[in-house]
Amino acid sequence: MPDFPAARIHEADVAVIGAGAAGLYAALCAAREHANVVLISATPLAQTASYWAQGGLAAALAADDSFALHLKDTELAGRALVRRSAAEILVREAPECVRDLQALGVRFDVDRVGHLVLGLEGGHSVRRIVHAGGSTTGRRVVRQLSALAAEETRITVFEGARAQALWRSEGRCRGLICDDGRVITARAVVVATGGAAALWSRTTNPPGSQGIGLMLAHAAGAALADLELLQFHPTAVIGVPGREGFLVTEAVRGEGATLHDASGERFVDELAPRDEVSRAIQALLEESGAQSVGLDMRAIDPASFPNVVAALREAGVDPVRELIPVAPAAHYMMGGIVTDLDARATIPGLYAVGEASCTGLHGANRLASNSLSECFVFARRAIADALSHTAVEPVAPTQAELEALGELPAPPLADASTRESLWREAGIVRSGDGLSRLLDAPHPLTALIAQCALARTESRGAHVRAEYPERDPSFDRRHAVLSAEAPLCWQTWS
């Protein structure tokens, strides 16, 4: 039996798992309200997906923009599956979050007179993407928030610690155990562990993005939803050793970069929503047998995309002189831990924010750069809600509970063959036969993804079923929900 000396038990108001954009901001919001926070950071900063985010924050800030227009674009991209209440919150609160981040010292790109420079990406009808250092937005934001978190005395950071299991007692999530034996008891636990796109072998994500938080939450009894809805980014670098899967931001297409087939012809509206662009590329690749299409950013100012240009040059491709070989890769999971509008999961005391969560806001196809905005908008809401439950106090686990917790298995990482099989059977176009083969996969999340994908017998947004090529209106606004107790059920969220 594991031994649990008292010194291994830490008490906090809020425990945050994950130190990407959503987790850091949640921790800082809680500390600002005088709460004590434990922040669990399994990976070094540069291995979080947020750090690599080249996109920015979508926010209706321009004179020709409005909340209504941002909402309309979000809903159009989301293919009749967007939860309107969540999207309304996002569009209304994103501008405030931009201002708050500025107040926290994040230096977004501004023009000569100090106005924010707004970029354009696919599916947006006007310019509304705020960047920091061009395509280095994630790095700039995460660095600044990490520096603040490190200085904040109310935040204790457990670096290198991994959450092994959530602790649930008397119907409430009351903390967690880490794989080094440390136990954190808290009034609220916020899961901010990012998404699961690295479960697919071809991905833009860092290797750790394998849905760890989803597995933790599901094992504790929280509901997950829409796991079949995995967005493929159209322009990941392919066939360049050392840079496989490297993302070339959609913002380059917003500035005029174009996509070309082998004969140099353009074949798609480069600024259509991502599901359309990815499908058009995939269809072309299947028809031609080619591995990649060419992305032409030769006419674009390289100074706006410094990390893209530097990374490609290092790998021997000069985007200022030649076309970049690109193809779609797994990028973002729209599904995740089911949450309400205050980021509450289905277990009291448990919250999920950022890509780990499923508010329903992205529907079946996320609008570019809505995700970073979502991290901040819903992290702030999670903390406001968590701290409003003043009657909830951290309680100490009994020795028996500690021993039971210590026995719980940590969420596993998928092996190479599982990741290959997800790419093969749950890729851009899926079939019932291929998905059924995933049902027996040993990796717990793989089978759950297959269950959701099999149940959605239609094509919608990022989910394309070969046998059901059309959208079926009877699935409009219906989310595939997997709870611990019941088989998959369909829910419509208000």
Interface ranges with ligand SIN (CB under 6 A) = 53-55, 249-251, 332, 368-369, 371
CB 341 within 8 A of CB 384: no
Min dist. Cβ of residue 287 to ligand SIN (A): 25
9-17 and 183-191 beta bridge pairing: parallel
Nearer to ligand SIN, 53 or 353 (CB): 53
CA dihedral 82, 84, 87, 92 (to 10 degrees): 160
Cβ–Cβ < 8 Å for 451, 335: no
To the query of whether residue 83 is one of the catalytic residues in this protein, the response is no
User: Which H or E element spans position 424?
Assistant: helix 416-425
Nearest to 157 by CA among 243, 28, 328: 28
Q: Which of 297, 262, 226, 280 is nearest to 54 (CA)?
A: 297
**Smaller CB distance to ligand SIN: residue 53 or 453?**
53
Strands (E), 171-249: 172-178, 183-191, 224-225, 230-237
The CB-of-288 to ligand SIN minimum distance in angstroms stands at 24
At residue 461, what are phi and psi to the nearest 5 degrees? 60, -125
**Exposed/middle/buried for 422, CB within 10 Å: 0-12, 13-18, 19+?**
buried
* Distance between start and end Cα atoms, the chain: 46
At its nearest, how many Å lie between ligand SIN and the CB of residue 129? 8
Cα–chain center distance at 382: 16
Residue 381 Cβ, how far from ligand SIN at the closest point, in Å?
20
- Closest separation between CB of residue 249 and ligand SIN, Å? 3
Task: Please report how close the Cβ of residue 254 comes to ligand SIN at its closest, in angstroms.
Answer: 9
- Burial zone of 29 (CB within 10 Å; 0-12 exposed, 13-18 middle, 19+ buried): buried
Minimum distance between the CB of residue 108 and ligand SIN, rounded to whole angstroms? Answer: 15
Q: Are 167 and 344 in contact (CB under 8 A)?
A: no
Residues 6+ apart with CB under 8 A from 263: none
Structure tokens at 42: 């399994």
Q: For ligand SIN, which is the closer residue by CB, 4 or 305?
A: 305
When the beta carbons of 192 and 219 are compared against ligand SIN, the nearer one is: 192
From the candidates 154, 174, 274, 430, which is the catalytic residue? 274
**What is the gyration radius of the CA atoms in the chain, in angstroms?**
22
Q: Which of 196/405 has CB closer to ligand SIN?
A: 196
Q: Which two tokens stand for residue 90?
A: 């996002």
Q: Residue with structure tokens 């499923």?
A: 358
Q: How far apart are CA 474 and CA 413, in angstroms?
A: 36
Q: Which is nearer to ligand SIN, 304 or 371 (CB)?
A: 371
- Minimum distance from residue 402 beta carbon to ligand SIN (Å): 40
The closest of 29, 26, 54 to 40, measured between CA atoms, is: 26
String of DSSP letters for 474-492: GGTT-EEEE-SSS--EEE-
Active centre residues (catalytic): 274
